[in-house]
Amino acid sequence: MTVGIVGAGQLGRMMALAGLPLGERFLFLDREEDSPGAQVAPSLLGAIDDAALLETLARRCEVVTFDVENLPREAAERVAAHTRLLPPVDALATAQDRLLEKTLFNALGIETVAWRAVDSLEELRDAAAALGLPAVLKTRRLGYDGRGQRFIRQQDELVGAWEALGGVPMILEAFAPFDEEVSLIGVRNPRGERRHYPLTRNVHWQGILDYSLAPVTRPGLQQQAERCLDRLLEHFAYAGVLTVEFFVVDGQLLANEMAPRVHNSGHWTLEGAVTSQFENHLRGILDLPLGDTTARGHSAMVNFLGHLPERAEVLAIEGCHFHDYGKSPRPRRKIGHATVVCAERSALPGRLERLRALTGRER
Q: Provide the binding-site residues for ligand AMP, judged by CB under 6 A.
A: 113, 136, 143, 146, 149, 173, 175-176, 181, 204, 207, 245, 256-257
Which residue is closest to ligand AMP by CB?
Answer: 176
Q: How far is the CB of 231 from ligand AMP (least distance, A)?
A: 20
Separation between Cα atoms, residue 284 and residue 272, nearest integer Å: 20
Separation between Cα atoms, residue 165 and residue 179, nearest integer Å: 28
The counts of H helices and E strands in the chain are 12, 18
Cα distances (Å, whole numbers) of residue 336 to 56, 124, 267, 295, 326: 31, 39, 11, 22, 8
Residues 360, 307 contacting (CB under 8 angstroms): yes
Q: Which is nearer to ligand AMP, 14 or 136 (CB)?
A: 136
Separation between Cα atoms, residue 285 and residue 301, nearest integer Å: 26
Q: How far is the CB of 207 from ligand AMP (least distance, A)?
A: 5
Q: Which is nearer to ligand AMP, 20 or 164 (CB)?
A: 164
Q: Which is nearer to ligand AMP, 24 or 173 (CB)?
A: 173
Residue 349's identity, in one-letter code, is: P
In the three-class reduction of DSSP (H, G, I as helix; E, B as strand; rest coil), residue 349 is classed as helix
Q: Which is nearer to ligand AMP, 30 or 245 (CB)?
A: 245
Q: Which is nearer to ligand AMP, 149 or 280 (CB)?
A: 149
Q: How far is the CB of 349 from ligand AMP (least distance, A)?
A: 22
Separation between Cα atoms, residue 196 and residue 165, nearest integer Å: 36
Across 122-138, b (16+ Cβ under 10 Å) vs e yields ebbbebbeebebebbbb
Residue 214: beta bridge partners? 299
Q: Which is nearer to ligand AMP, 76 or 113 (CB)?
A: 113
Q: How far is the CB of 43 from ligand AMP (least distance, A)?
A: 29
Q: How far is the CB of 146 from ligand AMP (least distance, A)?
A: 5
Q: How far is the CB of 247 from ligand AMP (least distance, A)?
A: 7
Q: How far is the CB of 164 from ligand AMP (least distance, A)?
A: 16
Angle (CA) 28 271 217, round 5°: 120
Separation between Cα atoms, residue 13 and residue 334, nearest integer Å: 14
Q: How far is the CB of 149 from ligand AMP (least distance, A)?
A: 6
Strands 63-66, 135-139: pairing kind: unpaired
Separation between Cα atoms, residue 37 and residue 33, nearest integer Å: 10
Which of 265, 320, 266 lies closest to 293, judged by CA?
A: 266
Separation between Cα atoms, residue 275 and residue 152, nearest integer Å: 41
Q: Which is nearer to ligand AMP, 175 or 326 (CB)?
A: 175
Cα distances (Å, whole numbers) of residue 50 to 32, 67, 86, 235, 329: 14, 16, 19, 30, 27
Q: Which is nearer to ligand AMP, 257 or 271 (CB)?
A: 257
Q: Which is nearer to ligand AMP, 146 or 220 (CB)?
A: 146
Q: How far is the CB of 121 from ligand AMP (least distance, A)?
A: 20
Q: Which is nearer to ligand AMP, 67 or 173 (CB)?
A: 173
Q: How far is the CB of 2 from ligand AMP (least distance, A)?
A: 33
